[in-house]
Amino acid sequence: MSSRSLDPISRSAAWRISLWATLAFAAGTLFVFAVLHRFVANDIRRRSDAWLSGEVEVLGDVAARTPKDRLYSRVVSEVAELASREVPDRQIPKKSENDSVFFLQADTDGPPKLWVGAGDGAATLAAIRAAKVFKDVPRDVKVEDGHVPFRVAAVRIEDGSYIYLGLSEQDQLRVLRTLRARFIAIWLMIVLLGFVVVFYATWKMLRYVREITGTASRIGQTDLSSRVPDSGRMDEVGQLARTLNHMLDRIQNTVRQLHTITDSLAHDLRSPLTAIRGKLETVLTTDLSADQAESIVSAIDELDRLTEFLNTSLDVAEAKADALRLSRTSIDLDELVRDMLDLYEPSMSEKGLKVQIHSAGECRISADPALLHRVVGNLLENEVKHLPASCTVRIQLCVLDESVHLVLEDDGPGFDDVLKRDLFQQRIRGRESRGHGLGLAFVQAVVRVHGGTVVAENRPEGGARLRVILPHNGSLTLAEEGLSLT
């Protein structure tokens, strides 16, 4: 699978949706496990405390009833050993020595009287006295050098001594560790499976959104006949697709009506203008004085300017409404610029303008040749009309970041600060301009329809800079404004 096909997956919102859903599920299950773990731990402790409290009472009763003779220690030890075998959740030790339960009898001070268990009874007794275990309520006791604490219960017998019964918490901790390990393993598998399921479902659902996006991006750039694919479902995505298709039908009808109106308007206005021009040219063929002929020629020029103004106004209106009809073909922008420069070079030379062109060579784009000729012609005509004599015009053409950059720079007075923000608005012109203020508006409208942008700015060293950015190789991605070209 190519990287191009994997690219939509890596940028899909399905990752974020799946991640947040999985995190929420994981946090919820962890909270449930924490509550369950606490409940199990409390239940194990409750059972252990109940066993300790019952057994310590039994041992205390046995110790009180057994005669204090030579058999006392043996009898009590055997009873304590039997009690240790009934420990809840007890794991059978691998060695014969029992280190999970101890029995201890001692006075309030002094050494132990009787010790049954593993380890040092004196150290255990010191830990018990430090923890002040003198009641039948079990308490935790940490023996010095011991890795696992003991749960210890105590009872006082008739001779004033205390019987202590301790239960190691290692079996309880083992049960809890096993529970945690199994839960983590199951939790990881469920979270991973949940992420895969959520991602697949989200990716499948967003596939319709991607198709809607692709169709919407083609509308206005090629034709208005494309429609959003309808899944046929009655869910939100299906309703969105049907709503967009209804909206596209209305837009297409509106654009068709706009084309009809503009075509009719252009025909109704051009016909009388053409008729007037024809009659004026016929009059020029007759015998006229020089003043009369000059007036008629001036009137014909004004008619031509009016016709051009009409055509440009209609084109700008259609372009701003995304209804401009394009006849795209692959053209070499470098060749087009040089052809237009050859056409305007006599006018520039007559005014004393110097022209420098720097091009990286062939720059092919998908565009309407007629409209691009008019765009370049408007840019060059602006230089001829508004630059003082002896100025220099520099034209740069290069490919940068998958876009073609056409830059026109000059060392003239630059753009008027008052008009700079509204340069691309219709009928915005300088104080000394004799035009209609449609040149740059037409340039921006055509470039935008082609998926590009236009940036106008004053150079820091003086003069103006106009930068036209068009997609390279027919790409329809809008170029970003603000890219510097040095």
Nearest-angstrom CA–CA distance, 372 and 128: 96
Q: What is the CATH architecture assignment of 13-175?
A: 2-Layer Sandwich (3.30)
Encode pLDDT of 42-59 as tens digits. Answer: 998 888 888 888 888 887
**In this structure, are residues 415 and 430 in contact, taking their beta carbons and an 8 Å threshold?**
no
The pLDDT of residue 122:
85
With cut-offs at 50, 70 and 90, classify the pLDDT of residue 337: very high
Strands 162-168 and 329-332: unpaired
Domain 223-325 belongs in CATH node 1.10.287: yes
Q: Enter the DSSP assignment of 219.
A: B
The pLDDT score that the predictor gives to residue 8 is 59
Q: Which residues contact 86 (CB under 8 A, 6 or more apart)?
A: 51, 55
| Max mean pLDDT range (75-89, 119-133, 134-148, 344-358) | 344-358
Report d(CA 429, CA 408) in Å as an integer.
19
Closest CA to 103 of 93, 94, 92, 113: 113
Give the residue from 443, 154, 220 showing the smallest Cα distance to 316.
443
pLDDT tens string 227-285: 777 767 677 777 877 888 888 788 777 777 766 776 676 666 667 777 787 888 887 77
Work out the mean pLDDT of the chain and round it to a whole number.
Answer: 77
Strand partners, 464: 458
Closest to 381 (Cα-Cα) out of 345, 431, 417, 418: 345
Q: Residue 24 pLDDT more than 80?
A: yes
Tell me the CA distances in angstroms from 363 to 18, 331, 360, 481, one per residue in order. 43, 8, 8, 20
At 476 the pLDDT is: 37
DSSP 414-456: ---TTTGGGTTSTT---TT--S-S-HHHHHHHHHHHTT-EEEE
- Domain residue extents for the chain: 13-175, 223-325, 329-471
The per-residue pLDDT for range 170-206, each reduced to its tens digit, is: 888 888 889 899 999 999 999 999 899 988 888 887 8
pLDDT given for residue 281 in this prediction: 80
Structure tokens at 480: 């970003």
**Which one, of 100, 104, 139, lies nearest residue 121 by Cα?**
104
pLDDT (tens digit, 9 = 90+) per residue, 101-130? Answer: 888 888 888 888 888 877 778 888 888 888
Instruction: Report the alpha-carbon distance of residue 385 to residue 369 in Å, rounded.
Output: 24
Q: Specify the amino acid at residue 292.
A: Q
To 5 degrees, how large is the angle CA 398–CA 325–CA 335? 30
Hey, which of 32-36, 54-58, 71-75, 286-290 has the most confident mean pLDDT?
32-36
Q: Which fold has domain 329-471?
A: Heat Shock Protein 90 (3.30.565)
Q: With a cut of 70, say whether residue 422 has pLDDT above it.
A: no
H-state helical runs in 285-356: 290-320, 333-351
Give pTM, 2 decimals: 0.47
Q: Return d(Cα 403, Cα 453) in angstroms, integer.
A: 10
- Cβ neighbours, 10 Å, residue 392: 14
Q: What's the confidence (pLDDT) of residue 16? A: 83
- Return the pLDDT at 88: 57
Query: Does 223-325 match 329-471 in CATH topology?
Result: no
